[in-house]
């Protein structure tokens, strides 16, 4: 009830009036039935912009910190994510994250749409980073298609650290659903998970046209903290774009 009320009364009028987001490929989203929407992650506002343009409810996996913030801002953010049915993900380790995975699989088994950011965290410089294999494991275990999605303009509107977004053109672009039924029963094979994840990231890259870096975003951020350098310390790995073509290489 909170989700539909907040979306209809607050989010849709506000965001459409302020940002006038443009949507492309909406016909690729299933009218019914389970699917994973896998997108790039550039901004906190991604959580708002995409659901505004989709009629069906999307349940998002979100970092646990969004649910445990302090102060007025932290409480408001936590209340929002709880109200819209967000699933908190403890990123401290595989065992800690299993409860979130089980809840996400429950959403898919119930015929719902699940939103996932395969990069695992927001891009700190607007580039697209290597995807984690959790999205592949859930897609294979649940036997559902994956719809790639590209958020364009949200980094410029609200990069990390900016409280209120700027009014800039924003596009939400959906691609054709990806069918991985050929890998049914192979969700425990690491090479298969890597190949599926790379195929998903390749589809997102084609939609977003971002510069790609064959490194996990969390690792890139850690290097920044270590060296105290500029926000673009990493060059794309040689052959990075070719590596997105579905190779099983790690």
Residue 16 lies in a domain: no
**Stretch among 5-19, 26-40, 116-130, 132-146 having the lowest mean pLDDT:** 5-19
Is the model more confident about 246 or about 230? 230
Contacts of 132 (CB under 8 A, 6+ apart): 118, 119, 120, 197, 216
What local confidence, expressed as pLDDT, does residue 237 receive?
38
Q: What is the DSSP letter of 183?
A: G
Nearest to 180 by CA among 167, 163, 193: 193
What is the share, in percent, of the chain residues with pLDDT greater than 70?
A: 79
What's the mean pLDDT in 208-224? 93
Domain extent for 176: 2-6+22-243
For the domain that residue 220 is a member of, what is the CATH number?
3.40.1130
Q: What is the b/e burial string over 35-69, where b = at least 16 CB atoms within 10 angstroms of the residue's CB? A: bbbbbbbbbbbbbbbbbbbbeeebbbbbbeebbee
Average pLDDT over residues 185-209: 96
Residue 113 has pLDDT above 70, yes or no: yes
Does residue 249 belong to any structural domain of this protein?
A: no
Residue 14 lies in a domain: no
Asked whether residue 250 is assigned to any structural domain, the reply reads no
Residue 23, pLDDT score: 92
* For residue 112, pLDDT beyond 70: yes
The reported pLDDT for the residue numbered 38 is 97
The pTM assigned to this predicted structure is: 0.80
Mean pLDDT of 142-169: 88
In a domain, 13, yes or no: no
pLDDT value at residue 247: 37
Asked if residues 173 and 29 have their Cβ atoms less than 8 Å apart, the reply is no
Highest mean pLDDT among 9-23, 81-95, 179-193: 179-193
Q: How many residues does the chain have?
A: 250
Q: Is residue 84 part of a domain?
A: yes
Average pLDDT estimate for 93-102: 71
Per-residue pLDDT at 242 exceeds 50: no
Computed over every residue of the chain, the mean pLDDT equals 82
- 164 located within any domain: yes
Instruction: Give the per-residue pLDDT at 56.
Output: 87
Q: Which of 194, 207, 210 is nearest to 243 (CA)?
A: 194
Q: d(Cα 187, Cα 118) in Å, to the nearest integer?
A: 16
- The mean per-residue pLDDT over the stretch 86-113 comes to 80
**Which of 212, 36, 59 minimizes the C-alpha distance to 136?**
36
Higher confidence at residue 38 or residue 50? 38
Strand partners, 129: 213
Residue 93 pLDDT class (50, 70, 90 cuts): low
- For the ranges 2-16, 27-41, 210-224, the lowest mean pLDDT is seen at 2-16
Instruction: Count the domains in the chain.
Output: 1
Task: Please indicate whether residue 231 or residue 164 has the higher confidence score (pLDDT).
Answer: 164
- Which among 152, 126, 148 has a CA at the least distance from the CA of 23? 152
Has residue 248 been placed in a domain?
no
């Amino acid at each position: 009830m909170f989700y539909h009320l907040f979306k209809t009364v607050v989010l849709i009028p506000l965001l459409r009036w302020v940002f006038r987001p443009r949507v492309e490929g909406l016909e690729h989203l299933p009218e019914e039935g389970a699917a994973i929407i896998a997108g790039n992650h550039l901004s906190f506002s991604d959580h708002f912009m995409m659901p505004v343009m989709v009629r069906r409810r999307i349940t998002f996996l979100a970092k646990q910190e969004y649910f445990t913030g302090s102060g007025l801002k932290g409480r408001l953010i936590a209340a929002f994510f709880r109200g819209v049915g967000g699933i908190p993900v403890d990123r401290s380790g595989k065992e800690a994250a299993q409860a979130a995975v089980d809840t996400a699989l429950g959403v898919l088994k119930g015929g719902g749409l699940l939103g996932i950011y395969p990069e695992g965290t927001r891009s700190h410089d607007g580039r697209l980073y290597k995807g984690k294999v959790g999205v592949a494991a859930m897609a294979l275990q649940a036997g559902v298609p994956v719809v790639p999605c590209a958020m364009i303009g949200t980094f410029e509107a609200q990069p990390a650290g900016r409280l209120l977004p700027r009014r800039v053109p924003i596009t939400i672009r959906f691609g054709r659903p990806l069918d991985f039924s050929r890998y049914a029963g192979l969700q425990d094979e690491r090479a298969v998970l890597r190949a599926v994840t790379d195929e998903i990231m390749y589809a997102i890259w084609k939609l977003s046209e971002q510069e790609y870096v064959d490194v996990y975003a969390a690792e890139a951020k850690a290097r920044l903290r270590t060296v105290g350098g500029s926000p673009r310390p990493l060059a794309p790995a040689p052959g990075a774009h070719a590596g997105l073509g579905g190779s099983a290489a790690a």
